[in-house]
Amino acid sequence: MSRTDLIADAFTIIRNAIMAKKENADVPASKVIVAIMGLLKKEGYIDNYKEIEDKKQGVIRVYLKYSGGKSVIKNIRRVSRPGLRVYVKRDKVKQVLRGKGLAIISTSKGIMTDATARELGLGGETIANIY
């Protein structure tokens, strides 16, 4: 089966693992997903992630983070998708939940958070919103 949107698949796997109260989730690997997981770890939404090699494309094991029995990730939503790309200009980068959430933006300087993009004065494709 071919996959057209690995990022949406990864987010769905993480959402399902959170609802099932799993400690970790295995998502398909790609460079973009590794960069997104690095941001989520840096911002404190996941505990850790580890790349696992297999004979195909590879797998990323994501260790989910819970606080008081509840997941730190309340909602993870794909904004831009293959059928509808969502771009934002550098002066129109908005906060998610008045700064309590996180927007992941793909810019010309790489994948970064909305706060970093505003700080550097960059716009780009909005990949996801997380809170």
Among 71, 95, 118, residue at a domain's last position? 71
Query: Residue 100: pLDDT above 60?
Result: yes
Same domain, 21 and 58: yes
pTM of the shown model: 0.91
| pLDDT score, position 55 | 85
Q: What is the pLDDT of residues 48-88, one digit of tens each?
A: 999 999 888 899 999 999 999 999 999 999 999 999 999 99
Ramachandran angles phi, psi of 80, nearest 5°: -90, 135
Among 71, 88, 112, residue at a domain's last position? 71
Taking the C-alpha atoms of residue 123 and residue 116, their distance in angstroms, rounded to an integer, is 10
Taking the C-alpha atoms of residue 40 and residue 27, their distance in angstroms, rounded to an integer, is 14
- Assigned domain for 1 exists: no
* DSSP state letter for 64: E
| pLDDT score, position 99 | 85
State whether the Cα torsion 69-25-116-89 is positive or negative. negative
